[in-house]
């Protein structure tokens, strides 16, 4: 939401628009959907309260104060409030822009800042450097975890976060990006040519998931183009309030994929998908409108895409398991995709889908939120695991790496039986080698 004129006590760059905060009529429909309000019962930690704070800053009734910054980062950015709001207020987006305000108006101290820019501006924008850091994983730990250890105080990470960060790290295979061919040919009757947007967390932490995504796409008759120079989608930058780097990355990816001449651009990471769908707004004043519209029209989450083109089910082999599905916030709330993953699950022979209560309630991962607010994150996770437990399902399926990390860790810690999988791993299991 860029605006040229300065609004109240916001800076001119990357501020909420007045309309976006005035739209809230304070009915409170968002309150029962907000995990942080459920935790605290404190109005300022609710979407309605946060939008009211932003409005007060816009109306110069309040400085962009430490408490406003605190709320901008305490918000999980799960967007459940956006789904719940009949008036069309986007409290999550308002808070995301406020995170950028926080970086502009009260920049973090020197050490925290150098760490932050190291990760956001040097590591994430550069896939080679990222992979170097992950190979071997030891080095990752030196670069990542040790940095975090040293600066846990300035970063305000929660208690016991380190144990959690280490515990969450899955067994690491070699990153997928260098292994994937740039072009994977279609199998069977060809149905089109799609670009695959391989996310950073997917290539580094879940290479086997994305390998299945590409394999399934090919088996479904699509030629898959995976540009090896793809950069980070910018979601971590938006989430940390670094909108400038996010714009640079977005511009690069926009050009890269528009040159690839693909019918669609598909991703298996809900966080990436949500960010890619926001390029249109993010780059409003940086790229041609038509180009942005054309790009936006091509973006699909993998489940959205497969449900839209129709799954070829003739060759699928049965998987005799009961499944419960956790909806990633950035899929169901940020992209409005709820029906499609379930439809795909039901099309896999042998799968029995058991709905859990509150399937679209956040798991408490939310990018770095789970490390910054580790106690609160545990409470949100416990609520989720309790709902999972009640289904008694064999598998807990989701569609986003952040959720998968958090849920796999939570299930293990709680001694539960469920195997945690990405939807595409399951679909991969049902898709015969060929």
Partner 1 sequence: MLSTTIIEQLKNKLGPGNVVSEKEDLLVLGYDSTPGIHLLPEVDVYPTSTEGVLAALEIAQREGLPITPRGSGTGLSGGSVPAKGGMVLCLNRMNKILEIDEENLTATVEAGVVTLDLFNATAAKGLFYPPDPGSQKISTLGGNVMEDAGGLRGLKYGVTRDYVMALQCVLPDGSLIQTGGKSVKDVAGYAFKDLLVGSEGTLGIITEVTVKLIPPPKDKRTLLAYFSDIRTAGEAVSKIIAAKIIPSTMEIMDKATINCVEDYVKIGLPRQMAALLLIEVDGHPAQVAEEAAAVEVILRQVKAAEIHIAKDAEQAAGLAAARRTALSALARVSPTTLLEDATVPRSLLAETFAEIERLTAKYKLNVGTFGHAGDGNLHPTVLCDERNHEEMHRAHAFYDELYDQVLAWGGTVSGEHGIGIAKKEYLARQIGAGGVKVMQRIKHAFDPKGILNPGKIFADDRE
Which stretches of 220-351 are DSSP H helices? 235-240, 243-259, 270-277, 279-282, 289-298, 302-309, 329-332, 339-347
DSSP secondary structure of 143-192? IIIIHHHHTTTTTTPPTTHHHHHHHHPPPPPPPSTTTS-SEE---SS--E
Shortest distance (Å) from residue 272 CB to partner 1: 26
Q: For 172, phi and psi rounded to 5 degrees?
A: -95, 130
Contact with partner 1 (CB under 8 A) among 7, 39, 52, 363: 52
Whole-number Å distance between alpha carbons of 203 and 176: 5
Binding to partner 1 by residue 48, rule CB under 8 A?
yes
Binding to partner 1 by residue 25, rule CB under 8 A?
yes
Binding to partner 1 by residue 27, rule CB under 8 A?
yes
Stretch that binds partner 1, among 2-10, 85-93, 208-216, 253-261 (CB under 8 A): 85-93
Contact with partner 1 (CB under 8 A) among 44, 191, 193, 312: 44
Is 325:358 a contact under the CB 8 Å cutoff?
A: no
Classified as helix, coil or strand, 320 is: coil
Contact with partner 1 (CB under 8 A) among 13, 65, 338, 347: 65
Stretch that binds partner 1, among 15-23, 108-116, 129-137, 343-351 (CB under 8 A): 15-23
Element (H, E) at 123: none
Shortest distance (Å) from residue 198 CB to partner 1: 33
Stretch that binds partner 1, among 16-24, 141-149, 235-243, 249-257 (CB under 8 A): 16-24
Binding to partner 1 by residue 62, rule CB under 8 A?
yes
Binding to partner 1 by residue 86, rule CB under 8 A?
yes
Binding to partner 1 by residue 23, rule CB under 8 A?
yes
Bond preceding residue 151 cis, omega within 30 of 0: no
Contact with partner 1 (CB under 8 A) among 2, 28, 170, 221: 28
Whole-number Å distance between alpha carbons of 244 and 246: 5
Q: Between residues 43 and 126, which has the closer beta carbon with respect to partner 1?
A: 43
Contact with partner 1 (CB under 8 A) among 6, 11, 12, 42: 42
Is 168:141 a contact under the CB 8 Å cutoff?
A: no
Whole-number Å distance between alpha carbons of 164 and 399: 21
Q: By the criterion CB under 8 A, which residues form the site for partner 1?
A: 19, 22-29, 31-32, 41-44, 46, 48-49, 52-53, 56, 61-62, 65, 67-68, 71, 85-88
């Amino acid at each position: 939401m860029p605006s040229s004129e300065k609004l109240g006590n916001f800076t001119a760059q990357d501020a909420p628009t007045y309309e976006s905060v005035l739209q809230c009529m304070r009915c409170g429909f968002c309150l029962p959907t907000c995990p942080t309000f459920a935790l605290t019962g404190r109005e300022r930690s609710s979407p309605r309260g946060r939008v009211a704070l932003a409005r007060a800053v816009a109306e110069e009734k309040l400085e962009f104060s430490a408490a406003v910054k605190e709320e901008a980062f305490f918000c999980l950015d799960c967007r459940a409030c956006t789904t719940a709001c009949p008036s069309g207020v986007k409290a999550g987006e308002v808070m995301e822009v406020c995170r950028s305000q926080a970086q502009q108006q009260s920049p973090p101290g020197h050490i925290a800042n150098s760490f932050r820019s190291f990760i956001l501006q040097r590591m994430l924008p550069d896939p080679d450097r990222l992979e170097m850091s992950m190979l071997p994983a030891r080095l990752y730990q030196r670069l990542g975890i040790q940095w975090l250890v040293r600066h846990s105080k300035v970063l305000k990470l929660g208690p016991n976060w380190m144990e959690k960060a280490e515990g969450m790290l899955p067994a690491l295979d070699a990153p997928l990006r260098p292994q994937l061919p740039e072009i994977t040919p279609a199998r069977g009757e060809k149905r089109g040519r799609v670009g695959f947007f391989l996310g950073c967390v997917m290539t580094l932490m879940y290479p086997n998931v994305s390998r299945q995504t590409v394999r399934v796409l090919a088996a479904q008759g699509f030629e898959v183009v995976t540009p090896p120079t793809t950069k980070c989608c910018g979601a971590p930058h938006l989430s940390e309030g670094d909108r400038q780097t996010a714009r640079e990355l977005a511009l690069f990816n926009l050009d890269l994929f528009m040159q690839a001449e693909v019918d669609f651009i598909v991703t298996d990471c809900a966080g990436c998908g949500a960010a890619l769908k926001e390029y249109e707004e993010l780059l409003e004043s940086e790229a041609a409108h038509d180009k942005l519209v054309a790009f936006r029209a091509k973006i699909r989450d993998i489940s959205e895409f497969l449900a839209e083109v129709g799954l070829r089910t003739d060759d699928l082999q049965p998987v005799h398991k009961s499944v419960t599905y956790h909806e990633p916030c950035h899929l169901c709330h940020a992209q409005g995709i709820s029906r499609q993953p379930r439809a795909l699950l039901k099309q896999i022979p042998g799968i029995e889908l058991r709905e859990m209560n509150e399937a679209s309630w956040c798991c408490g991962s939310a990018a770095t939120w789970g490390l910054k607010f580790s106690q609160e994150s545990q409470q949100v996770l416990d609520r989720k695991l309790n709902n999972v437990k009640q289904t008694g399902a064999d598998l807990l399926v989701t569609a986003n790496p952040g959720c998968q990390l958090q849920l796999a860790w939570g299930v293990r810690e709680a001694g539960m039986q469920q195997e945690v999988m990405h939807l595409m791993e399951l679909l991969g299991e049902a898709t015969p080698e060929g």
